[in-house]
Structure 1
Amino acid sequence: MVWLGVCAEGLTVPVIFEDATMDAQKYIKEVLPIALKSGKKMLGKNWTYQQDGATPHTHHLSQKWCADHFPAFIPKIRWPSNSPDLCPFDYSLWNELGQVMDWNYVTAESTLIE
């Protein structure tokens, strides 16, 4: 499992999980701090964090962490309906990323991150 953030300024560092299970506690501990640090580095102080409807994202503890830490955050009760324009990862970016990878070179986690 991989978490990756994207914005107009580029991509975040990927977070790769050997164990493909994810819960709210793992998301809060291992993903959200990287999202916050990357957002600040790429965008400064004025930006909004948007996530999808995955169960770890909608958990009340994840929602609270986001509200408490991000400069702005779209809570689950305010998410717009699914749209290719608003959810590009879900509709095309993961596919595009997979197609441009040199899978002969990517043979381990370290080369995938590189």
Structure 2
Amino acid sequence: MFDKGTVNHESYITKALPVALRYGNKVFGDNWIFQQDGAMPHQHHLTHQWCEANFPSFINKDRWPANSPDLNPLDYSIWEELVNAMDWNKIRSKATVIQQLKSSVKKIRESFVFESCDVWTNRLYRIFQTDGNYLR
């Protein structure tokens, strides 16, 4: 959560990416892939340089289809788990949103994250088999 304004590439590189790197290394070790979409801070060449230099593996927006939530376990699975773990009645301010996010992330089972990634791998394989067409 950023205090003010929109996120630019500088704040994304200095504040968000190191957190993603620490979490990824903690949960997945040294064999995992970081993926980004086409959001403005993600597109900057310095963001790409940082990601390529620091993450074990990196998929940039040029190698990832736009508007593809069914290809991203965070979008189709883990966000829903996070939202369901939050106590929405306690949210009254930015501070309580942050508190609820932090406590809810801790409620998501590690096995759920791994299961979501397994399902994601299967979905990628099925999309490859259909030559990139929609899954039914």
TM-score past 0.5 threshold = yes
> What TM-score, normalized to structure 2?
0.61
Q: Which moved more, 1:70-79 or 1:30-39?
A: 70-79
In the alignment, the residues of structure 1 paired with residue 33 and residue 49 of structure 2 have an alpha-carbon distance, to the nearest angstrom, of: 15
What amino acid maps onto 1:111 in structure 2? Answer: Q
- Could you say which structure has the higher helix fraction? 2
Per the alignment, residue 69 of structure 1 pairs with: 54
Structure 2 stretches lacking a partner, 5+ long? 104-136
What amino acid maps onto 1:32 in structure 2? Answer: L
1:111 aligns with 2:99: yes
Larger Rg: 2
CA contact (8 A) 1:24 1:59 kept: yes
Give aligned-pair identity as a percent. Answer: 49
> What TM-score, normalized to structure 1?
0.71
Per the alignment, residue 36 of structure 2 pairs with: 51
Paired residues, what number?
A: 99
Per the alignment, residue 67 of structure 2 pairs with: 82
CA contact (8 A) 2:38 2:66 kept: no
- Could you say which structure has the higher strand fraction? 1
Per the alignment, residue 102 of structure 1 pairs with: 87
Q: Which runs of 4+ in 1 moved over 6 A?
A: none
Per the alignment, residue 9 of structure 1 pairs with: none
Deviation string, structure 1 residues 40-96 (Cα, Å, up to 9, x no partner): 000001010011110000100001100011010012321234323213555675466
RMSD: 2.3
